[in-house]
Amino acid sequence: MEATLQKTATLKVGDMAPDFTLSDQDGNETSLSSFAGRKHVVLIFHPLAFTSICSIQMPGYNRELQTFEGLSAQVLGISVDSSAAHRAWADALGGIDYPMLADFFPHGEVARKYGVLRPEGFSERATMIIDMTGRVRYIDIHEMGQVPDPMRIVEFLQTLK
């Protein structure tokens, strides 16, 4: 029997984003709510560290960090990998300067709350933008083999006041 894949998030644009606290690649805790009223948050759900598409995708956001910061946006990568795996992967990629958050335990809990946990136990390749008020403003679920274009996110962030 084949698993049915979810191609849309259960959250909708306009919904309040569920808060979460996860550890990053350096063991620091990051909460979505810590950015409320200060920054928009770009959530980058990616399937797994050390995979070919993710290893192209995640450094692309790093290259655009100044642009994101200029638009009052914080990038947060999220996968079901552990903080230790994220640290090793960030090092292997030559360094990642934004938090790569471990949705490790309980396994995939944040991805599940956001409706992007696949039956196989890892997340969809999904991008969500949470505005400064905590509302979901943008959702894009990508094909697993597709490298998302960071400039689409930049273009959308430019429309937010």
Catalytic site positions: 54
Q: CA 64, CA 15: separation in Å to the nearest integer?
A: 27
Q: CA 74, CA 129: separation in Å to the nearest integer?
A: 10
HEC letters along the chain: CCCCCCCCCCCCCCCECCCCEEECCCCCEEEHHHHCCCCEEEEEECCCCCCHHHHHHHHHHHHCHHHHHHCCEEEEEEECCCHHHHHHHHHHCCCCCCCEEECCCCCCHHHHHCCCECCCCCECEEEEEECCCCEEEEEEEECCCCCCCHHHHHHHHCCCC
